[in-house]
Homo-oligomer: A and B are copies of this chain.
Amino acid sequence: MSENLKLSNQVCFPIYSLAKEVVSLYRPILQRLDLTYPQYLVMLVLWEEGTQNVSEIGTKLNLDSGTLTPLLKRLAEKNLIERNRSTHDERIVQVKLTASGQAIKTTAAEVPEQILNSLNVSIEQLEALKAGIDNILNQIKK
């Protein structure tokens, strides 16, 4: 196999490994908030953009209802969100922060700093990585 062909394995496996590594960096930090990384992503969307439909959250996070429905039920059980059918269109479920959900935003504000610290990498390196990833994400053939 040519060196160029091997490259896909040499890039895709590190991407896969890095993603797992990143999630495992978040795990102990998010544990204090009783959130998993995907749950934290949903909370970020709600903190930043307010009440959202299930499908709006799905579009922003690239997750489908098969993943989101049970995840949102778990967030609701923890009393961080409320799920209500829209009266205007009964198909739509609106996901809204509860007071508790809004309240933990303050604690969650400390997460990025802790992550930056455990990533242990310069801002410049991160910027470069972000540029490289955005590049690929935009160019992948859908």
Contacts and interface: CB of A to CB of B under 8 A. Distances in A.
Interface stretch (A70-78, A86-94, A95-103, A112-120): A112-120
Contact of A17 (B17, B62, B112, B121): B62
A57 to B, nearest CB: 13
A11 to B, nearest CB: 5
A8 interface: yes
B134 A14 contact: yes
A52 to B, nearest CB: 16
A6 B112 CA distance: 7
B19 A115 contact: no
A134 B14 CA distance: 7
Interface string A10-46: 1111111111111101100000000001000100100
Interface of A: 1, 4-23, 25-26, 37, 41, 44, 62, 109, 111-113, 115-121, 123, 125-130, 132-137, 139-141
